[in-house]
Amino acid sequence: MKMTVIVNDRGELVAAQQGSDSLRGQDAGLVAGPGQHLHVIDIPDEVKQHLADPKSFAERIQPLIPRV
């Protein structure tokens, strides 16, 4: 599964949005603000089960987010 994530300058998760499965793409999307960075990352199956717990999810996707 692909997700769009936004992190701040310290690499902390600000927002995440699951990618769309439709052929037309997402109807609305995230926009990074000043001092933020947007990334599209692949989420492994073992991380998907943590979507309901924001803290646990943020900890598990941290290694997947590119450093800028």
Query: Which pTM was predicted?
Result: 0.80
- What is the tens place of the pLDDT at every residue in 33-63? 999 999 999 999 888 888 889 899 989 999 9
Angstrom distances, CA of residue 64 to CA of 8, 9, 17: 15, 16, 15
- What is the tens place of the pLDDT at every residue in 5-38? 999 999 899 999 987 666 565 567 889 999 999 9
Closest CA to 54 of 8, 12, 11: 12
The residue extents of the domains of the chain are 2-64
